[in-house]
Amino acid sequence: MATDIKSNIVMKPKLITIVMTITMMLMYFPIFARDFEYTYKGQTLTYTVISEKDRTCQTKDGGWNRGYYPGNKVSGSLVIPASVKDGNKDFQVTSIGYSAFFGCSGLTSVTIPNSVTSIAGDAFFGCSGLTKAEFGSVEQLCSIKFSDYGANPLYSAGNLYINGEEIKEIVIPNSVTSIGNYAFYGCNGLTSVAIPNSVTSIGHNAFSCCSSLTSVIIPNSVTSIGHNAFSYCSSLISVAIPNFVTSIGDSAFEGCSGLTSVIIPGSVKTIGNGVFEGCEGLIKSAYPDYLSNPFNDGIAIAYPAEGSKVENGVVLNQSTLYFAPASLSGEYTVPSTVNAIGDKAFYLCKDVTYVRMPATLSSIGEEAFVGCNLYDFTIPNSVKSFDMGALAGNPLKSLTVGSGVSQITGASNFYNSNLEKIFWLGNIPPAGYEGFNPVINFVSNDQYRFTNQVLYPFLSSIFEVEGIVYVPVSPSERTCNVVDYLYTPSNAKFAVPASIENKGITLKVVNVGEYAFYHHDYLVDISLNNNGVIDDYAFYDCLKLKTVKFGDHISEIKNHTFQNCEVLERVENSPALTSIGKWAFSGCVGMNYFSVGSKIKSFGEEAFSDCTGLTKFYSYATTPPVCGDQALDDIIKWECTLYVPEGSESLYASAPQWKDFFYIYGVDGVETILIDQENDVEIFDLNGIKQNKQLEDLSTGIYIVRRGSEVIKQVVK
Same domain for 591 and 663? yes
Task: Say whether pLDDT at 639 is over 50.
Answer: yes
Task: Please say whether the beta carbons of 271 and 251 come within 8 A.
Answer: no
Tens digits of residue pLDDT in 584-631: 999 999 999 999 999 999 999 999 999 999 999 999 999 999 999 999
Strands in 690-691's sheet, in edge-to-edge order, are 690-691, 682-684, 701-707, 710-716
**Nearest residue to 111 (alpha-carbon basis) of 50, 162, 172, 44:** 162
Same domain for 639 and 696? no
- Domain termination residue (choose one: 495, 520, 554): 554
**Nearest residue to 350 (alpha-carbon basis) of 379, 324, 327, 321:** 327
Residue 23 resides in a domain: no
- Domain termination residue (choose one: 529, 554, 579): 554
Same domain for 491 and 468? yes
d(CA 642, CA 637): 9
**For 163-167, 221-225, 612-616, 690-694, which range has the lowest pLDDT when averaged over its residues?**
163-167
* Run of H or E including 376: strand 376-379
| Mean pLDDT (the chain, rounded) | 87
The conformational region for residue 583 under phi > 0 = left, psi -120 to 50 = alpha, else beta, is left
Task: Find the CATH number of the domain harbouring 564.
Answer: 3.80.10.10
**Model confidence at 154, in pLDDT bands (50, 70, 90)?**
low
**Model confidence at 27, in pLDDT bands (50, 70, 90)?**
very low
Task: Say whether pLDDT at 112 is over 60.
Answer: yes
- Domain termination residue (choose one: 554, 570, 587): 554
Same domain for 636 and 532? no
| pLDDT value for 405 | 97
Residue 653 resides in a domain: yes
Mean of pLDDT values over 203-223: 90
The count of domains in the chain is 3
| pLDDT value for 25 | 41
Mean of pLDDT values over 201-206: 91
d(CA 364, CA 370): 12
**Model confidence at 31, in pLDDT bands (50, 70, 90)?**
very low
Residue 486 resides in a domain: yes
Q: Which domain holds residue 690?
A: 682-716
**Nearest residue to 563 (alpha-carbon basis) of 536, 602, 533, 592:** 536
| pLDDT value for 445 | 95
d(CA 7, CA 374): 87
456: CB partners within 8 A, 6+ apart: 442, 443, 444, 471, 473, 481, 483
**Nearest residue to 93 (alpha-carbon basis) of 136, 124, 50, 132:** 50
For residues 238 and 147, the model is more confident at 238
**For 158-162, 363-367, 490-494, 549-553, which range has the lowest pLDDT when averaged over its residues?**
158-162
Residue 250 resides in a domain: no
**Nearest residue to 375 (alpha-carbon basis) of 326, 437, 331, 430:** 331
Give the distance, in angstroms, between the CA of residue 121 and the centroid of all CA atoms in the same chain: 42
